[in-house]
């Protein structure tokens, strides 16, 4: 188990899972055995986090919002299709309320895209290592944060199962 902050994408060399599609008479090549891509459609929609607070000492109500705009969705004035998350947290300053809204939005939207990869075992991949998926030619080619790494040694050899997550790079956070 790893208890700590997630690694920063720009501060480490990513671990690359690369897929090379077949061209002509060549076969498909990859440095992994299997890849499954999952997307949480609820989180892929527009997401709005609202933090409300009542500051007892100043007698004021504070409402701060963080918004992630999903890719390719219509923007209606009625917020149709927007997923709302409302939190009531007492005694926050306006700055702390906005900071909390931003952090909660990040925690919710990072689970939008999840990849499950099975590959030959490698000790270079740790929970602190960023994963880069390359070669699919889709929106799935991006960086991911490891969520779970399981190593197995059996009759097939040494294998690792990796689960990683991130939000779509096409989403806009405001």
Distance, CA of 154 to CA of 139 (rounded, Å): 34
Q: What is the pLDDT of residue 48?
A: 92
3-class secondary-structure state, position 153: strand
For 160, the token pair is 């690792």
Q: Is the pLDDT of residue 73 over 60?
A: no
Which helix (H) or strand (E) element contains residue 43? helix 41-44
Q: Which band of pLDDT confidence, cut at 50, 70 and 90, is reported for residue 72?
A: very low
Residue-wise pLDDT tens digits, 6-31:
656 555 689 999 998 877 777 888 99
Residue-wise pLDDT tens digits, 101-158:
999 998 888 878 899 999 999 999 988 889 999 999 888 999 998 989 999 999 989 9
């Amino acid at each position: 188990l790893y208890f700590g902050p997630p690694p920063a994408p720009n501060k480490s060399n990513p671990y690359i899972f690369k897929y090379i599609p077949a061209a002509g008479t060549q076969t498909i090549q990859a440095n992994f055995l299997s890849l499954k891509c999952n997307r949480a459609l609820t989180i892929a929609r527009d997401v709005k986090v609202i933090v409300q607070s009542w500051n007892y000492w100043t007698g004021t109500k504070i409402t701060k919002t963080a918004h992630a705009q999903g890719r390719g969705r219509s923007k209606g004035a009625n917020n149709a299709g927007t997923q709302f998350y409302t939190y009531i947290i007492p005694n926050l300053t306006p700055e702390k309320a906005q900071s909390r809204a931003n952090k909660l939005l990040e925690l919710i939207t990072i689970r939008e895209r999840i990849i499950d990869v099975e590959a030959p075992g490698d000790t270079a991949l740790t929970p602190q290592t960023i994963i880069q998926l390359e070669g699919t030619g889709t929106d799935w080619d991006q960086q991911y944060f490891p969520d779970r790494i399981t190593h197995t040694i059996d009759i097939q050899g040494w294998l690792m199962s990796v689960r990683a997550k991130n939000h779509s790079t096409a989403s806009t956070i405001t």
